[in-house]
Amino acid sequence: MIRDPIRDGLAAGWKVTDASRLERDLVLDADVAVVGTGAGGGVTAETLTAAGLDVVMVEEGPLRSSSDFHMLEAEAYPQLYQESAARKTLDKAITILQGRCVGGSTTVNWTSSFRVPEATLAFWRDRFGLSVLTAGELTPWFERMEQRLAIGPWTVPANENNALLARGAAKLGIATGAIRRNVKDCWNIGYCGMGCPTNAKQSMLVTTIPAALARGARLVCGARVDRLRLQGGRATELVCAALDPRGVHATGKQVRVRAKHYVLAAGAIGSPAVLIRSRAPDPHRTLGRRTFLHPTVISAAVMPQRVDGHAGAPQTIFSDHFLERGPIDGPIGFKLEAPPLHPVLFGMTLQGFGERHAALMEAFPHAQVLIALLRDGFHPESHGGAVGLRDDGSPVLGYGLTPVVWEAVRRALLAMAEIQFAAGAKQVLPVHERAQPYSSWAEARAGIEALPLEPLLTRVVSAHVMGGCGMADSPQRGVVGAGGRHFQLANVSVHDGSVFPTSLGVNPQLSIYALTARNASALAADLTGKAAPPSG
């Protein structure tokens, strides 16, 4: 029997309110209100409660835990993901995977853990005046969070889906590396994306949030933050709408939190949206701008042997070969990884329909898939997207796929197909409405060169939303300072991936953990008047 630390904690009296059950409005007072419980919110809550501060966390999604995680896509996507995993950009050309549950995306991510590359930090120092963000400054925070979340090398052999990336790349002289993971006693099952059923993944759900709750923090889940009430350059109240048990419609009940300080950690679409709905000052029109996605394209292959891409740790091998070939602000580079394969996501993602689609699905056990994550935000013509609001106040990201992106997409589709054939693929199929399965590298090269690269023909996805409340040295260039403090609102901070001024070029969770640990510690010191405690 697997112990469920969340159910144990609830039984022990954690202060958790499911807003869907509220029969009247709820008003709470706290030192700090934290919006969101993902990588930023979780680390913030743990750090602030360790400093003795009274914290209220507000989460839009539900509280679900290992007992609820049945490894079924039909349950996981509606319960644990933003918009049932069907969130898309404004033109519907990019599908965005983000968590919406206690623990946020950390509850459903694939455990890939990287430090922000030095080249990215150097670009931020040079272009955004973030001179304090050196590797030396951040290293202790990375080390601290790596220890806290058991981030380390994965010593079990890679599953075949990942091993094929390593083997194919090696044949072509392309270097690959091993991905570090935030797991303890991992069962190597492969269902990280549906919530870890064994609590091996050291997500916020089983680490920082329980620690904060054990110290008396309060958690309100099933409540969507509507806005901050602002007065005289300060936030005075957080106003939230309680949602029905499925998290679809507002029930009409309100949750309001009055705090000395407010931390936004609602993700890079959610946090800018809260500020926009709050009519936060935006004198230089930086809010919600420069939102980056690591736009990701996909290449499927059919191998002679079984691959079983659903089984085993999902992401364990990567290649940065195509990130390191030119200057960071030159033609857009890309990172290569191999994603987990499960029937719903695989079936939805593959192009076409009818007999041809069914034939591809029959090859499911033999399918090998590579993804290329494009490093956006560095090239002078890669400005990213902008967050806006629909008529009903819900956020939507507009992201233009521009020629510099498409040029990189073609190189990425070519590179992935070549690696897959080198690894022994019988067929390679770029995920594009006009592409057919190619039987040789020569055929694939000619086919991919001729593909019309356009939105809604080329499948583009993203699981890494970054930016929109960018850090900078001045309000002309960003929304918050290097410490995460809002330039115009004295008692508002942003602690999540929205503070990154560009994309990272790596999966973002660890960089959010480390930067948040740094900034939350400084905030705790400010609010308590005491130096930050040595450990979380």
Partner 1 sequence: MPTRRQFLRYGVAGALALTAAGIARSQPADRVYRAASGAEPLTVLGAEDRAVLAAIAPALLAGAVPERRDALVGSVDRAVAGLPPHLQREVLQLLALLGSWPGRRWIAGVASPWPEASREEVAAFLERWQFSRWALLQQGYHALHDLVLAAWYARPDSWPAIGYAGPPEVK
Instruction: Pick the binder of partner 1 from 9, 54, 184, 198 (CB under 8 A).
Output: 198
Distance CA 163, CA 157 (A): 8
Measure the CA–CA gap between 318 and 266, rounded to whole angstroms.
Answer: 28
Torsion sign across C-alpha atoms 395, 499, 79, 363: positive
Q: Does 390 bind partner 1 (CB under 8 A)?
A: yes
Least gap, CB of 168 to partner 1 (angstroms)? 23
Closest separation in Å from C-beta 71 to partner 1: 3
Q: Are 533 and 156 in contact (CB under 8 A)?
A: no
User: Is residue 248 part of the contact set for partner 1 (CB under 8 A)?
Assistant: yes
Please choose, out of 7-15, 185-193, 328-336, 437-445, the segment that lies near partner 1 by the rule CB under 8 A.
185-193
Q: Which of 249, 380, 529, 535 binds partner 1 (CB under 8 A)?
A: 249
Tell me, residue by residue from 31 to 70, as one string, x for binding to partner 1 by CB under 8 A and - for no binding: ---------------------------------------x
Give helix 135-148 / helix 509-528 axis angle, nearest 10°.
100
Among 42, 195, 197, 484, binds partner 1 (CB under 8 A): 197
3-state secondary structure 196-245: CCCCCECCHHHCHHHHHHHCCCEEEECEEEEEEEEECCEEEEEEEEEECC
Asked if 365 is part of the footprint of partner 1 (rule: CB under 8 A), the reply reads yes
Q: Does position 23 bind partner 1 by CB under 8 A?
A: no
| Cβ nearer to partner 1, comparing 257 with 274 | 274
Identify whether the C-beta of residue 278 lies closer than 8 Å to the C-beta of residue 228: yes
Contacts of 354 (CB under 8 A, 6+ apart): none
**Helices and strands in the chain, H and E counts:** 14, 24
- Residue 357 near partner 1 by CB under 8 A: yes
Min. distance of Cβ 363 from partner 1 in angstroms? 8
Which bin fits 291, alpha (ψ -120 to 50), beta or left (φ > 0)? beta
Amino acid letter, residue 532 = A
**Of the candidates 396, 451, 525, 527, which one interacts with partner 1 according to CB under 8 A?**
396
Q: Measured from the CB of residue 291, what is the shortest distance to partner 1 in angstroms?
A: 14
If DSSP codes are grouped into helix, strand and coil, which group holds residue 337? strand
- Residues that bind partner 1 (rule: CB under 8 A) add up to a total of 55
Q: Which of 9, 52, 281, 347 binds partner 1 (CB under 8 A)?
A: 347
Residues across the chain: 536
Q: Minimum Å distance from CB 490 to partner 1?
A: 31
- Secondary structure E strands in 100-214: 112-113, 151-152, 177-178, 180-182
* CB 189 to partner 1: min, Å: 6
- The continuous run of DSSP H or E covering 510 comes out as helix 509-528
Enter the DSSP assignment of 149.
Answer: T
Told to check if 362 binds partner 1 by CB under 8 A, we report: yes
Of 148 and 366, which CB lies nearer to partner 1 in the complex structure?
A: 366
Min dist CB 4 to partner 1, Å, is 12
Candidates 364, 378, 438, 487: give the one binding partner 1 (CB under 8 A).
364
Alpha carbon distance 296, 225 (integer Å): 29
Residue 5 in the binding site for partner 1 (CB under 8 A): no
Q: Quick check: 384 binds partner 1 (CB under 8 A)? A: no
Q: Which of 136, 173, 354, 529 touches partner 1 by CB under 8 A?
A: 354
**Hey, how many other C-beta atoms are within 10 angstroms of the C-beta on 476?**
11
Output the smallest distance, CB 156 to partner 1, in A: 16
Report the alpha-carbon distance of residue 340 to residue 162 in Å, rounded: 9
Which residue type occupies 461? V
Is residue 384 within 8 A of residue 290, CB to CB? The reply is: yes
Q: Considering only residues 436-495, where is the footprint of partner 1 by CB under 8 A?
A: 455-457
3 touches partner 1 (CB under 8 A): no
Q: Fill in the per-residue mask, 67 to 96: x = in contact with partner 1 (CB under 8 A), - = not in contact.
A: ---xxxxx---x----xx-x---xxx----
List 498's β-bridge partners, or say none.
none
Cα 416 from Cα 396, distance rounded (Å): 31
Single out the residue of 10, 170, 189, 527 in contact with partner 1 (rule: CB under 8 A): 189
State yes or no: residue 353 binds partner 1 (CB under 8 A).
Answer: yes
Compute CA 458 distance to the chain's CA centroid, rounded to the nearest angstrom: 22
AA identity, residue 87: R
Stretch that binds partner 1, among 138-146, 210-218, 360-368, 403-411 (CB under 8 A): 360-368
Q: Does residue number 358 form part of the binding site for partner 1 (CB under 8 A)? A: yes
Smallest distance, Å, CB 186 to partner 1? 12
Q: Which residues of 130-157 are buried (b: 16+ CB within 10 A; e: fewer)?
A: beebeeeebeebbebbbebbbbeebeee
Stretch that binds partner 1, among 260-268, 357-365, 420-428, 462-470 (CB under 8 A): 357-365
344 binds partner 1 (CB under 8 A): yes
Distance of CA 528 to CAs 12, 258, 449, 520, Å?
28, 18, 60, 12
Of residues 25, 118, 324, 433, which one binds partner 1 by CB under 8 A?
433
Q: Which residues bind partner 1 (CB under 8 A)?
A: 1-2, 70-74, 78, 83-84, 86, 90-92, 187, 189, 191, 197-198, 244-246, 248-249, 310, 343-344, 346-348, 352-359, 361-362, 364-365, 388-392, 394, 396, 398, 433-434, 455-457
